[in-house]
Amino acid sequence: MANRTDALSRERIVATAVQMLDATGEEGLTFRALSAQLKTGAGAIYWHVANKSELLDAATDAVLAGATTVAEAAPEAEIRALALGLFDAIDVHPWLAGQLAQGPWKSEALRIFERLGQRVQALGVPAPAQFTSATALMIFIVGAAAQNAANASNAAKIRAAQPDASRTAMLAVESAAWEGLDPGDYPFLHDIAGQLREHDDREQFLAGVDLILAGIAALRPQA
């Protein structure tokens, strides 16, 4: 009969870690808590995963494996699909943002940066502008997705205290506050208050990607 250590697998440990990260964030993922969740000893987990850093990397890889798989298409379409895949993944798994924001030297972020860079090259961007172009995409995609996840987390806390506070209702309140600002001091916020109330986060995100892609297109040599 297999013992408890043999019954474990790296895949099961990582899948459980992802569930815990989704529920409690990185701070809630400890080997003691993971051991309790798996009903085993910490030593059995260490047999498969050396430390928390390795576990976080494995959890990140597991989530991103499906999220960043895109069908072959034109470079712009592949960039949009990759961006939306990351946006949706971070929306579901907010802790991902912290892992990807640690810098391009992290293996997971490095692979995403490489994929964006390849597509920037495929767009015919001159070599001196490739680094800046790929970096602008990477920073916007990860940063905007992280901000969206943070906004969703804050909204969830508000709804926990006020069950009737829907996203629509919260945006309406904020929009009304902007409309009530002195247009002499806040002309821009006053003008766009209605857009805040009606905007879709995902569509706004993709519009931002398209703005960057339009700027990148302007860098290509004109035929």
Start-end ranges of CATH 1.10.357.10 in the chain? 72-223
DSSP state of 186: -
Rounded to an integer, what distance in angstroms lies between the CA atom of residue 212 and that of residue 127? Answer: 17
b/e 22-52 (16+ beta carbons within 10 angstroms → b):
beeeeeebebeebbeebebeeebbeebbeee
- Top-level CATH class of 72-223? mainly alpha
Q: What is the DSSP track for 87-106?
A: HHHHHH-THHHHHHTT-TTS
Beta carbons within 8 Å of 175's beta carbon, 6+ residues apart? 193, 194, 196, 197
User: Looking at residue 2, what is its pLDDT?
Assistant: 42
Start-end ranges of CATH 1.10.10.60 in the chain? 1-67
* pTM attached to this predicted model: 0.81
| Residues of the chain below pLDDT 50 | 1-6
User: Looking at residue 105, what is its pLDDT?
Assistant: 61
User: Looking at residue 173, what is its pLDDT?
Assistant: 84
Rounded to an integer, what distance in angstroms lies between the CA atom of residue 57 and that of residue 107? Answer: 8
Contact 175, 199 (CB under 8 A): no
User: Looking at residue 146, what is its pLDDT?
Assistant: 86
User: Looking at residue 109, what is its pLDDT?
Assistant: 82
User: Looking at residue 1, what is its pLDDT?
Assistant: 36
Contact 45, 35 (CB under 8 A): yes
User: Which residue's structure tokens are 């009606």?
Assistant: 198
CATH fold of 1-67 reads Arc Repressor Mutant, subunit A (1.10.10)
User: Looking at residue 149, what is its pLDDT?
Assistant: 81
Q: What is the DSSP track for 22-48?
A: HHH-GGG--HHHHHHHHTS-HHHHHTT
> What one-letter code names the amino acid at 31?
F
User: Looking at residue 29, what is its pLDDT?
Assistant: 93
